[in-house]
Amino acid sequence: MIRRTAEADLIRLRRYEIPIKRVARNLCLDPALIGAIMSQESRVGLLLDNGWDQGRQKYGLMQISRQQLQPYVAWDSEEHINQCSNILVLSINEVRARHPTWTWDRQLRGGICTYHARMGNLQVYEEDPCSSDYNYVNSVIRRAQYFKRNGF
């Protein structure tokens, strides 16, 4: 299921390849990770109405909450990708600071979870606390792996 979704999203993702790679290079992020979050959160814009989710609480390709989005920029712009990717970097660094003994993989997974859920404290790690079906982080990782194999 994730592979088919990622295959379809890869076509839409190509439209944003240059800004994604530019932002990733500037922030020392893997562009495949940025693309995977776009795919997971908004199906690279497919699920959005003028940039907003159905509840009009999250905005843009990477679906950041109203409270975190300052200032408002075009939902599919490089500025938006940069703004949200900076929040992702801050989330990863927050987890790294709180859990210095975790492996890099666990810190990255915790950062992805923190980006998504805005969790203040990650105590339990064996299951993915980011979604009711415990699959959010694994889905993002699998999408990123697929995108990386396909040029991101």
Domain ranges of the chain: 2-149
What does the pLDDT read at residue 118? 65
What does the pLDDT read at residue 134? 59
What does the pLDDT read at residue 47? 94
Residue 41 annotated as catalytic: yes
Q: Taking all residues of the chain, what is their mean pLDDT, rounded to a whole number?
A: 89
Contact of 108 with 92, CB cutoff 8 Å? yes
Question: Beta strands of 4-138 (E only): which ranges?
Answer: 58-59, 64-65
Which one of the listed residues 7, 17, 41, 126 is annotated catalytic?
41
Q: Is the pLDDT of residue 53 over 80?
A: yes
Of the CATH numbers 1.10.530.10, 3.40.1390.20, 3.90.1300.10, 3.30.70.100, which one belongs to the domain with range 2-149? 1.10.530.10
